[in-house]
């Protein structure tokens, strides 16, 4: 089966690929790596790898603690990273909290918001969506166990979009928090988060956006979105693992109690009383992941140097190519409508377990994700056994898509 070759991208994909050393790897002896698991984690360009190495070779020290030259350098680097994150999402630096990633950011918000709301939780509700990652479900369930707050779930339409009519009914005067994903990590669906945030604010609720899957290719502006908080992970935007961010609007941040206690998040400690630091540092107890912040800073600068409109156009091209090719194959079911540019496509094959497909694709050098993708409630509706998920990045080539389909055809001949 052959598809019409798309027109040449505005981006120089061949040049971009040379910046990612791992893409030159051979696996299983003599097979070129075809990495199509970018929704799980993106690969890292040389500049990011070098920035982390340089940190340890020339600057290694702790931030906000020592008066010596290394301490001063590292503090400056760490705070510069905070500024770059803020600039990249339309926020202020004093609204950016460094965390270990999206999961910790959401746990921080659920815990601190829960402590702030207190008794109001028992009479209120939290609104999520049916397509949320477990990281945006479990922390709120833990809060429900402690407080009795109701959790409401916005359902999906049959084509994998949010039922916005139902959402408008579920968000009401008793809603305290609306927390939703911007781009589904399973379906690739892009949600109208701005409207959800507007509805949340109209009833006095706090609005939170999970941007883990959107930040790599979308221009994020928290002012335009109108959210109170937005979270993402560094490793999904060409940066290192173990680092992420929580944008928390200044008015909300100033009103939230600390998430953890320890060094750096205080101004004064006695055995009688502790006074907490103001701003983001109140949520950054202990030694921070400084090298991660430095790597994330470099990754975002690398991303920001791209024309994100071209990135979106190219990833839409790849998404369309994947969806069209899968739909040509008998017995293959593509889940979701796929009108956007996420590069994320989930599919299943009649009578075949997705794990078998993933294992066999790997023998051909093709790396994909199989299973429930940390979205079990969604998967119970669309594919109880799980799906095969293919996810492209800005460095994914048309040749790699062709190699994927070639390998898939060989796998299907064996399994069907």
Spans of all domains in the chain: 13-44+307-415, 49-304
Per this entry, what is the length of the chain? 416
Among 130, 154, 151, 124, residue whose Cα is nearest residue 140: 151
Cα dist. 178→167, 187, 237 in Å?
10, 20, 25
**Which parts of the chain register pLDDT below 50?**
1-8
Place of tokens 């906000």: 64
Q: Which CATH class is domain 13-44+307-415?
A: alpha beta
Cα dist. 349→202, 242, 243, 387, 405 in Å?
44, 34, 36, 9, 14
Cα dist. 215→78, 80, 108 in Å?
20, 19, 20
How far apart CA 400 and CA 112 sit, in angstroms, is 44
The answer to whether 94 touches 279, Cβ cutoff 8 Å, is: yes
Q: Decide the pairing of beta strands 206-210 and 229-233.
A: parallel
The answer to whether 410 touches 361, Cβ cutoff 8 Å, is: no
Q: How many CB atoms lie within 10 A of CB 107?
A: 20
How far apart CA 28 and CA 59 sit, in angstroms, is 38
Residue range 309-350, pLDDT digits in tens: 999 999 999 999 999 999 999 999 999 887 778 999 999 999
Q: What is the pTM of this model?
A: 0.95
The answer to whether 407 touches 324, Cβ cutoff 8 Å, is: no
**Is 180 designated active site?**
no
The answer to whether 259 touches 253, Cβ cutoff 8 Å, is: no
The answer to whether 60 touches 77, Cβ cutoff 8 Å, is: no
pLDDT at 9: 53
Residue range 364-388, pLDDT digits in tens: 999 999 999 999 999 999 999 999 9
Record: fold of 49-304: 3.40.640
How far apart CA 183 and CA 337 sit, in angstroms, is 13
Provide the angle, in degrees to the nearest 10, between the axes of the packed helices 46-54 and 290-304. Answer: 150
Fold identical between 13-44+307-415 and 49-304?
A: no
Among 321, 326, 327, 325, residue whose Cα is nearest residue 341: 321
Nearest 5°: the CA angle 39, 41, 43 is 120
> From the centroid of its chain, how far is CA 341?
15
pLDDT at 66: 77
Written in H, E and C, the secondary structure of the chain is: CCCCCCCCCCCCHHHHHHCCHHHHCEECCCEECEECECCCCCCCCHHHHHHHHHHHHHHCCCCCCCCCHHHHHHHHHHHHHHHHHHHHHCCCHHHEEEECCHHHHHHHHHHHHHHHHHHHHHHCEEEEECCCCHHHCHHHHHHHHHHCCEEEEECECCCCCECHHHHHHHCCCCEEEEEEECECCCCCCECCHHHHHHHHHHCCCEEEEECCCCCCCCCCCHHHHCCCEEEEEHHHCCCCCCCEEEEECHHHHCCCCCCCCCCCCEEEECCCCEEECCHHHHHCCCCCCHHHHHHHHHHHHHHHCCCHHHHHHHHHHHHHHHHHHHHCCCCEEEECCCCCCCCEEEEEECCCCHHHHHHHHHHCCEECEEECCCCHHHHHHHCCCCEEEEECCCCCCHHHHHHHHHHHHHHHHHHC
pLDDT at 1: 40
Q: Which of 180, 197, 227, 374 is catalytic?
A: 374
């Amino acid at each position: 089966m052959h598809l019409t070759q798309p027109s040449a991208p505005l981006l120089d994909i061949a040049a971009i690929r040379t910046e990612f050393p791992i893409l030159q790897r051979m696996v299983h002896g003599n097979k070129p790596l075809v990495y199509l698991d970018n929704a799980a984690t993106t690969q890292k360009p040389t500049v990011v790898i070098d920035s982390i190495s340089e940190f340890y070779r020339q600057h290694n020290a702790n931030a906000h603690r020592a008066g010596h030259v290394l301490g001063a350098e590292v503090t400056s680097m760490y705070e510069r990273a905070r500024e770059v994150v803020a600039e990249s999402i339309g926020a202020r630096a004093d609204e950016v909290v460094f965390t270990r990633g999206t999961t910790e950011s959401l746990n921080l918000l659920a815990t601190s918001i829960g402590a702030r709301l207190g008794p109001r939780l028992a009479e209120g509700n939290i609104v999520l969506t049916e397509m949320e990652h477990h990281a945006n479900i479990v922390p709120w369930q833990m809060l429900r166990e402690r407080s009795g707050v109701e959790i409401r779930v916005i359902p999906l339409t049959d084509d994998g979009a949010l039922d916005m009519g139902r959402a408008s009914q579920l968000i009401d005067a008793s809603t305290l928090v609306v927390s939703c994903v911007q781009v589904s990590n399973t379906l690739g669906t892009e949600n109208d988060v701005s409207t959800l945030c507007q509805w949340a604010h109209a009833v006095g609720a706090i609005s939170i956006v999970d941007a883990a899957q959107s930040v790599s290719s979308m221009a994020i502006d928290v002012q335009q979105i109108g959210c109170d908080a937005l979270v993402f992970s560094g490793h999904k935007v060409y940066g290192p693992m173990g680092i992420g961010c929580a944008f928390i609007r200044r008015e909300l941040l100033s009103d939230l109690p600390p998430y953890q206690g320890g060094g750096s998040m205080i101004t004064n400690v006695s055995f009688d009383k502790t006074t907490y630091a103001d701003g983001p540092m109140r949520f950054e107890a202990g030694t921070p992941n400084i090298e991660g912040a430095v790597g994330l800073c470099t990754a975002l600068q690398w991303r920001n140097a791209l024309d994100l409109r071209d990135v979106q156009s190219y990833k839409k091209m790849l998404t369309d190519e994947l969806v069209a090719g899968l739909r040509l194959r008998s017995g293959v079911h593509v889940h979701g409508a796929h009108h956007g540019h996420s590069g994320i496509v989930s599919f299943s094959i009649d009578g075949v377990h997705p794990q078998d497909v993933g294992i066999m694709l790997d023998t051909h050098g093709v790396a994909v994700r199989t299973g429930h993708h940390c979205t079990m409630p969604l998967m119970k509706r669309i594919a109880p056994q799980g799906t095969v998920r293919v996810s492209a990045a800005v460095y994914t080539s048309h040749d790699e898509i062709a190699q994927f389909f070639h390998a898939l055809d060989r796998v299907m001949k064996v399994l069907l």
